[in-house]
Amino acid sequence: MILIYNNMITYHRTLFLGLSRSIETLNQVAMGDKPADLVLENCSLVNVYSREIMPETQIAISQDRIAYVGKDASHTKGKKTVVMNLEKKYVAPGFADPHIHVDQFVSPAEFVKKSLLCGVTSLFSDPIDIVSTCGYRGFKEFVKMTSELPVRFFHVIPGGVPVDRKFSHGKTLSLTEAKSALKISGVLGLGEVFSWTKVTKRDSKTMRMLSAMLENNCVINGHTAGASGKKLNAYVSSGILSCHEPINFEQVVERLRLGMWIMIREGSIRRDLKDIIPLVLSNKTYTDRLMFCSDGLDPTDITRFGHIDHCIRESVKQGLNQIDAISMASKNCFDYYNMGKDLGGIAPGKLADILVFDDLKKMKPNKIFIGGHLVVSNSTIVCKMQKCVIPKWMTKTIKFQKFSEDDFTVKSRADSVNVNVINMKTEIITEKINENLSVKGGNVIASTDKDIWKVAAFDRTFGTAKHTVGFLKNFDTQIGAFASTWNFHENNMIVIGSNEKDMVKAANSLVTTQGGMVVVNEEKILSSIPLQMAGIVSTDSFETVLENFVNLNTVLSDAGCKFKKPHLIPLFLPFIALPDIRILSTGLVDVKNRSFLKIVTC
């Protein structure tokens, strides 16, 4: 007989009520006065508390918690106890991703189908883009979507939007809504506060939000890219005690010395592990405040590399002790979130989130238990997956009528003009340059000879007429247009094009699909990824999204794009948390100087 997952108890209730209500039963089972529901025999326990592997261990489980760990659990067996011989296989606590944006590409249910098989039993979600598009109503719906899935989902209230009130217009949660959100099961605190200047300059709304979180004993996640010295001290003193932005050992140590917890990022935007772990080892730095996180994974990366299991494998290759790596993937995460009494290890009283491995080198679990229920067996999900129910209003967020060529014109009466141009140094990094462009029929045109493209940003969230048409350099791709309704964290519609006709075709295509990414040439669609939910998440299967995602990047690469991940370009073009020059529906922005720039300079 095998226990199969049937109904997940939401963790928030389990955390505060479960153990207190279970101690009588757990005590009885541990003493042999009451039979266990499940006993795992003949396993080698990876003990993250004593930093050892314990062979020939037996684990007795009552309901969703562990009652006994030791050499002999025979006293906990009864007539109805399920006994499972693990044949000397290794058992370890379930892995956690302490900082991830799950509101990307695929639905939470489709993401879980891949992540769970990597041994990730807990996900700490920061749904910034859902909130920036759908507000508090969308936040509540997103939390609801994750509540019935066979992993433990925890959420934080996005602390990063709006990035800058002077330029941003995305939706966010008011202080009243944030306080209300804290009452929702599974909501733990505030997500990454990545506009750290709001903290160092003591922005009133930001400080009130931080105070409210601290008053409610909540965790506040950080984002300190570029902060150091007195600025970093001011940030930490405001109650923000974690960061996933360090890209080298020096930044890690500076933050550790100030009492911060570090999430070493290994995901689709950045991979920092190889630059940090070797120096952690050579400097004999304590690892008890170090964790792994992804910060988000695209379909290709989770398929190719895996998730937190990949972080463990790579760290061990760099010389990290296997148990320390597993501790960073489990115990340390829950210690940071003040959940150590419930999760993070295999010990009496803990929730029975247990991974079973044939060997520790591959780090691929053969079996997975969550709350004592088997959810994966023989590397196959054996539990029922709830279908993701998406409210219709969340699939109607692209608020445009049809576009015309006039929407992409830059008017001038001159024969030629000088313009400010966004020069793409990478998919993410930009700089401001100035170029001279020709004018035809009163419209400033793109220049294929100079590799200068038009780029437009439209307010698609509120459906206003606000839009900006500017210029982009260094895209160098033999297509007509590339457009997206998803970007960090403004969710404007971004359209890049060499001509107005193809830009119109791309924009109208995304209105029809109600979101996504699309590549157009000569008014024909070459590739697309429909993102029907809020214009940022697909309602299709993981396999379909993966195929579309690979195809889109391949089409752009084959057309000459020099960047490894072309899809990132429209995602970051409006991202005003990074310098140098960005484009929003509200205008062309000089981020460092916090000022709008003219498109045409003369």
Quick one: which of 47, 191, 123 has its CA closest to 333? 123
Least confidently predicted of 162-176, 265-279, 349-363: 162-176
Q: Assess whether pLDDT exceeds 80 at residue 10.
A: no
Using DSSP, state whether 402 is helix, strand or coil. coil
What would the two tokens of residue 340 be? 């150590």
b/e per residue, 222-245, with b = 16+ CB within 10 A? bbbeebeeebbeebbebbbbbbbb
Cα 367 to Cα 4: distance, rounded to the nearest angstrom: 11
Band of residue 585 on the pLDDT scale cut at 50, 70, 90: very high
Average pLDDT over the chain reads 95
- Average pLDDT, integer, range 391-418: 95
What would the two tokens of residue 410 be? 């830059």
Cβ neighbors of 395 (< 8 A, separation 6 or more) are 514, 532, 533, 534, 539
Cα 339 to Cα 90: distance, rounded to the nearest angstrom: 24
Residue 485: CA count within 13 A, CB half-sphere:
34
Radius of gyration of the chain (CA): 26
Length of the chain: 602
Q: Assess whether pLDDT exceeds 70 at residue 9.
A: no
Q: Assess whether pLDDT exceeds 80 at residue 345.
A: yes
Beta-bridged to residue 589, according to DSSP, are: 582, 596
What would the two tokens of residue 141 be? 């719906």
> What percent of the residues of the chain are helix, what percent strand, and what percent coil, each to the nearest 5?
30, 30, 40
Q: Which residue has the higher pLDDT, 261 or 400?
A: 261
Over the stretch 136-154, which tens digit does the pLDDT of each residue have?
999 999 999 999 899 999 9
Over the stretch 495-525, which tens digit does the pLDDT of each residue have?
999 999 999 999 999 999 999 999 999 999 9
| Inter-residue contact 499 to 480 (CB < 8 Å) | yes
- Report pLDDT for 17: 53
- Report pLDDT for 214: 98
Q: Assess whether pLDDT exceeds 50 at residue 401.
A: yes
Over the stretch 77-123, which tens digit does the pLDDT of each residue have?
999 999 999 999 999 999 999 999 999 999 999 999 999 999 999 99
Q: Assess whether pLDDT exceeds 90 at residue 181.
A: yes
- Report pLDDT for 380: 97
Share above pLDDT 70 across residues of the chain, in percent, rounded to a whole number = 97
Over the stretch 223-232, which tens digit does the pLDDT of each residue have?
999 999 999 9
| Inter-residue contact 209 to 220 (CB < 8 Å) | no
| Inter-residue contact 481 to 506 (CB < 8 Å) | yes
Q: Assess whether pLDDT exceeds 60 at residue 574.
A: yes
The pTM of the full predicted model, rounded to 2 decimals, is 0.95
What is the DSSP code string of 2-62?
--B---PPPHHHIIIIIHHHHHHHHHHHHHTSS--SEEEEEEEEEETTTTEEEEEEEEEEE
- Report pLDDT for 386: 80
- Average pLDDT, integer, range 215-227: 96
Band of residue 8 on the pLDDT scale cut at 50, 70, 90: very low
- Average pLDDT, integer, range 526-553: 98
